[in-house]
Amino acid sequence: MKSIFSRKTRLYGIRGATGCENTKESISKNVLEMCSRLFSENKISAESIVSVQFTSTKDLTAMNPAAALRRGGDCGIDVSKVPLFCSQEPEIDGSPEKMIRVLVTAYLPSGAEVKPVYINGGEKLRPDFAENQSR
């Protein structure tokens, strides 16, 4: 089996965030939308992913975002063997509520232009990234 990793690849961290309501349906829908766009826009394959880490604010208790991605259906790639992890976002005064953040660690071609995905209210976390996003 030929390895996809070489000197022509580099390890990247690709970030994103989405807002949602505290329901299984909303969490699942928004996590899938965010991850689908992140995987697609950055040309990420399941084989290139090292791990996917989520954080969620304390007011999102209906579903774990990692479980939402694993069980949610088609996100563009098969994540069944991808390591997923979730933790609670630290409580910081003035931070937005009902927010899920993601960090995908993956190998991409050296010099790749990483495209973060901030949607559904996540744009307020990084307006500098959000205004450069293509739809």
Architecture per CATH, domain 9-130, reads as 2-Layer Sandwich (3.30)
Beta bridge partners of 53: 85, 103
- pTM comes to 0.88
pLDDT digits (tens, 9 = 90+) for 15-71: 999 999 999 999 999 999 999 999 999 999 999 999 999 999 999 999 999 999 999
| Residue 105 in this model has a pLDDT that exceeds 50 | yes
CA 9 to chain centroid: 20
What pLDDT does residue 74 have?
A: 85
CA 108 to chain centroid: 16
Mapped onto helix, strand or coil, the DSSP state of residue 67 is helix
